[in-house]
Chains A and B, each alone.
Chain A
Amino acid sequence: MVPNLVQASSYASSIDGLILLVAVFVGVGFIVAEGMFFWLIWKFRARPGEKSQYLTGSEKHVKRWITIPHGLVLICDVFIIIGSVRVWYDVKQHLPEADSTIRIIGQQWAWTFQHPGADNELDTDDDTFTVGDLHVEVEKTYHFRLESRDVLHSFSVPVFRLKQDAIPGRSITGWFRPTVTGEYDVQCAEICGIGHGVMAARIHIEDANQHAAWLSSSSAATTP
């Protein structure tokens, strides 16, 4: 599987499902509409001695070629809206109880991560700061506090299907729950200057033993 198509968070599959739903509706609609378009071009092609007609679209039998597809699009929209609201609520509105909280700081052009230490409390002396490497434990729910030190950034973890803007002066809270161990990309998804394209990091999703080992081996806390 393409690495970035891995579903590594608890909500990745529901976001993919929503995208698939939209793709199927739009895809089927596109194929049917194009098929009809070319069929009509062929059916009403120029023939010797036959004049073209000007259709106002006011007659019922003509108008239904617009109203019926329009109605079908609206029905599809209802399904898409219901799906979107459900996913939006799960990912953005609903904040499940956290097992741990981390701070993510974007700056031109690096990501700094503040991990809680053994006390599992953020902003205490045993916190660990890393640049470019985020360490999390699989099957634990994390809250993140996302901040920016300079300009707009966007914290994006493709395998989580997570993308959240970072805005200077604000601390934005979000959450994720990793479901698969491994090492994956973190990127900035908001143009933030000349180094935007190389503003990358890695997320290390570890099992409990690996994470405990990393925590104990990580360097002493530094305060940014």
Chain B
Amino acid sequence: MMARLRTVKRSVIALLVVGAAACDATPPPVGMERGEELFETCAPCHGDAAAGDPKIAAPAIAGLPQWYIQEQLAGFQGGFRGRHADDLPGLRMRPMAVTLNREGDIESVAEYVASLDPVFPASTLHGNAGAGANSYIVCVACHGADGLGNPDLHAPPIVQLDDWYLLAQLRNYKSGARGTAPADVWGTTMRVNTLAMDDQAMQNVIAYVQTLR
């Protein structure tokens, strides 16, 4: 009888210890470990390797610069991305970004995503790269002749982005679904450059960008 009581007592103590450990809400320190943990929220859409999924309009983000991912997440949180009725993929992304609400969350997940092997998704559009080369002259000032971007001008490396994603964003800029919020200073600059482009011109310039890889 006493032996059984001792066993029950030990079991209860063990359960309490395990329970207390499970309730410990202390997050890992800011950095890769926390970023990897947070990335579990992103993986269902962007994939385990962050290679994206065009079927649900989730772009490849693996290996994009940390500063760019941070800025976009901050934009989603700040409400100047993913808060327009036309931007359905953005509307899906914004609540996910809002969950990164502890200090250092955005930096951590951005660091982790930036550390992943970059992917260069295959082309899905059929623009005229030759015609697009002329249009790209306007883009060179910020995105560079090689399309690798310029952090000082908040211009991302567009060679790495899905072509369908680039087209969707150019359309968003033109329609005003993106780049109209006063807080989105760099988006406003980008929007101005899309206003004169029709859909074919957008596809052409994207086709040219794909040749820069």
Given A109-B95, A110-B94, A198-B99, does the pair A222, B44 have CB atoms closer than 8 Å? no
Contacts of B83 on A, CB cut-off 8 Å?
Answer: 110, 131-132
Q: How close is A184's CB to chain B, nearest CB, in angstroms? A: 19
Residue of B nearest to A224 (CB): B85
Q: How far is the CA of A27 from the CA of B178 in the complex (A)?
A: 54
Chain A residue numbers with a CB within 8 Å of B176 are 222
B44 touches A194 (CB 8 A): yes
Q: Which of B86, B94, B95 has the most CB of A within 10 A?
A: B95
Given contacts A194-B44, A198-B98, contact A222 B86 (CB under 8 A): yes
Q: Please report the C-alpha to C-alpha distance between residue A108 and residue B45 in the assembled complex, in whole angstroms.
A: 12
Do the beta carbons of B88 and A107 come within 8 Å of each other? yes
Q: Write out the residue numbers on chain B whose beta carbons fall within 8 Å of the beta carbon of A132.
A: 83
CB-defined contacts of B94 to chain A, threshold 8 Å = 110
C-alpha gap A128/B94 in the complex (Å): 21
Contact assessment for A108 and B92 in the assembled complex, using a CB-CB cutoff below 8 Å: yes
Q: Is the CB of B85 within 8 A of A222?
A: yes
Is B91 on the interface with A (CB-CB < 8 A)?
yes
A224 to B83, CA, bound (A): 12
A195: B residues at CB distance < 8 A: 92, 95-96
Report how far A195 CA is from B95 CA in the complex, Å: 7
Minimal beta-carbon separation of B44 from chain A (angstroms): 5
Bound Cα distance from A131 to B83, whole angstroms: 6
* Residues 105-134 (chain A) with a chain B CB within 8 angstroms: 105, 107-110, 112, 129, 131-132
Say whether, besides A198-B98, A198-B99, A222 and B84 are in contact (CB < 8 Å).
yes
Q: Write out the residue numbers on chain A whose beta carbons fall within 8 Å of the beta carbon of B82.
A: 110
User: Chain A contacts of B84 at CB under 8 A?
Assistant: 131, 222
* Closest Cβ–Cβ distance, residue B175 to chain A (whole Å): 8
SS class, residues of chain A in contact with chain B: loop
Contacts of A149 in B (CB 8 A): 88
Q: For residue A199, which residues in chain B have a CB less than 8 angstroms away from its CB?
A: 95
List B residues 79-136 near A (Cβ within 8 Å).
82-86, 88, 91-92, 94-96, 98-99
Chain B residues with CB under 8 Å of A224's CB are: 85-86
In Å, the complex CA distance between A109 and B98 comes to 12
Assembled-state Cα–Cα distance A108/B44 (Å): 14
Q: What B residues does A222 contact at CB under 8 A? A: 84-86, 175-177
Given contacts A198-B98, A198-B99, A222-B176, contact A129 B85 (CB under 8 A): yes
| Cβ A131 vs Cβ B91 within 8 A | yes
Complex formed: what's the CA distance from A199 to B98 in Å?
10
Among B159-199, those with CB < 8 Å from A are 175-177
Give the complex CA separation of A119 and B99 in angstroms: 39
Q: Which residues of B contact A112 (CB under 8 A)?
A: 85, 91
**Contact between A198 and B95, CB atoms less than 8 A apart:** yes
Other contacts beyond A131-B91, A194-B44: 11, CB < 8 A: A107-B91, A108-B91, A108-B92, A110-B83, A129-B85, A131-B83, A149-B88, A198-B99, A199-B95, A222-B84, A222-B85
Interface residues of chain B, those whose CB is within 8 Å of chain A, are: 41, 44-45, 82-86, 88, 91-92, 94-96, 98-99, 175-177
7 A–B contacts, CB within 8 A, in A order: A105-B85, A108-B91, A109-B91, A149-B88, A194-B41, A195-B96, A200-B95
